[in-house]
Structure 1
Amino acid sequence: MVQSFWSPIYLSITIAVTAGIIVAILGILCGRLMARKSFTGKTMIETFLMLPLVLPPTVVGFLLIVIFGINSPVGQIISQLFGHSLIFTWWAAVIAAVVVSFPLMYQSAKTGFESVDYEIEDAAKIDGAGKVQVFLKVTIPLALQALITGGVLSFTRALGEFGATLMFAGNIPGKTQTVPTAIYLAMDSGNMEMAWMWVASIIVLSYIMLFTIYRLPKRPRA
């Protein structure tokens, strides 16, 4: 019972951490680009990036199956490279978590970068700093609070993902069964004791992450 209890928790955390790292990198890059650049079609691209936030998880799961399924070009390439389909694997759960949590990281990163005063960055460039140095040593520290908030929110979203994961990765114990899917199975089988234990665990984890956001030091207003 102990192993069956901890397995979904371990999988949920590892999937959420992996998805969180990927989302943080992509969100920071996209957020920086969209905060600083103006171009034709920007609104359409931003709408597309935020779309997973409002789409039903079943729709996201359906689209992932269509894109990565064995009959799709992408799915066939993956099968040829790795010898098996991506569907119903650990990486399928990670991809589902990345897709649904990305908008939260992207929006937070974009907001954080927009709040950075351009004059501070320009001053650093005048002093001889390169673009990469300015980004890493000036822009990132000034937008850090927003980036951490986005990272925590995207992590908790990935931790609680259910619909897209169930459709795309399945509910395989020890392989793709996360806490949300384990709760669903426990409820369906009438095992309320295990369901309550998993519910309590994910509430505690989510509470700790959200509590971290509220404990972040606030940037003083200019």
Structure 2
Amino acid sequence: MILSDPEWQAVLLSLKVSSIAVLFSLPFGVLMAWILVRCRFPGKSLLDSLIHLPLVLPPVVVGYLLLIGLGRRGVIGQVLYDWFGFSFAFSWRGAALASAVIAFPLMVRAIRLALEAVDPRLEQAARTLGAGRWRVFFTITLPLTLPGVIVGTVLAFARSLGEFGATITFVSNIPDETRTLPLAMFTLIETPGAEGAAARLCIIAIALALISLLMSEWLARWGRKRMGA
């Protein structure tokens, strides 16, 4: 299957955007999962709802909220642009941010389920033996949660590859800059005579999603076997 240069650019941009989205959101995903499982405080249910809100909101709404908040004339975006000359709007960085926000609930949920399965008594025993909070987390909690972290990371990556609504609303559909795989397919579908190119990208999208899911399952099994060994 031979792809044209614009099609390759869309595929490579999608991989870049999804990788960066997952890389920067993973530490926050682990932190939020730990807070939801191990901490008790007023407003915990509200925080949980806010984290999972992108799962039930239309992606276009998420993109619009990002636009009014982080666009060049947004509440936060104008400060970033005026003070630092940095902007998320109409750039691949904004596409990565939109993908991260949409995929974040899936990551947190997978890590949270794994963290809930970790026996708190193991952490308490380590604390009584003199281990500090951070040492307990990095030597006991995080290794035992590793399968869930892996699954959450891969699922978030797969979800980022398919992000469309928030991306096109927040950063538009700019060739070589924000035109990821889903946006390229959308453009080709609306272009007369481009059915073949759209079909090729569709096959690639299905293949990438399937590979991600299979990899997620394999890595989860590998992690469980390693922890058991």
TM-score interval for Structure 1 and Structure 2 normalised by the shorter chain: over 0.9
Deviations 1:64-122 (A, max 9, x none): 11111333331211221343643111111011011101101111112211111011112
Secondary structure of the equivalent of 1:189? Answer: coil
More displaced stretch, 6-15 vs 107-116: 107-116
Mapping for residues 169-180 of structure 1, pairs under 5 Å: 169-180=171-182
Mapping for residues 63-212 of structure 1, pairs under 5 Å: 63-83=65-85, 85-190=87-192, 191-212=194-215
Please give the alpha-carbon distance, in whole angstroms, between the structure 2 residues aligned to 1:147 and 1:64: 26
Secondary structure of the equivalent of 1:73? Answer: coil
Question: How many correspondences in the alignment?
Answer: 222
Deviations 1:157-199 (A, max 9, x none): 1111001101111111111110000000000003111111111
The residue aligned with 1:51 is 53
Please give the alpha-carbon distance, in whole angstroms, between the structure 2 residues aligned to 1:128 and 1:40: 30
Secondary structure of the equivalent of 1:157? Answer: helix
Secondary structure of the equivalent of 1:173? Answer: coil
Please give the alpha-carbon distance, in whole angstroms, between the structure 2 residues aligned to 1:95 and 1:210: 22
Conserved 8 A contact 1:79-1:86: no
More displaced stretch, 105-114 vs 161-170: 105-114
Conserved 8 A contact 1:19-1:98: yes
Structure 2's unaligned 5+ residue stretches are none
Secondary structure of the equivalent of 1:44? Answer: helix
Conserved 8 A contact 1:149-1:213: yes
Please give the alpha-carbon distance, in whole angstroms, between the structure 2 residues aligned to 1:16 and 1:101: 10
The residue aligned with 1:7 is 9
1:126 CA drift (Å): 2.6
More displaced stretch, 119-128 vs 57-66: 119-128
Deviations 1:104-162 (A, max 9, x none): 11111122111110111122223332211211111111111111111111111111100
Please give the alpha-carbon distance, in whole angstroms, between the structure 1 residues aligned to 2:110 and 2:64: 27
Conserved 8 A contact 1:78-1:86: no
Conserved 8 A contact 1:11-1:178: yes
Distance change in 2, residues 1:126/1:203 (3 Å): same
The residue aligned with 2:34 is 32
Conserved 8 A contact 2:7-2:184: no
Conserved 8 A contact 1:106-1:150: yes
Conserved 8 A contact 1:31-1:113: yes
Normalising by the residue count of structure 1, what TM-score does the alignment of the two structures yield? 0.94
Please give the alpha-carbon distance, in whole angstroms, between the structure 2 residues aligned to 1:84 and 1:123: 47
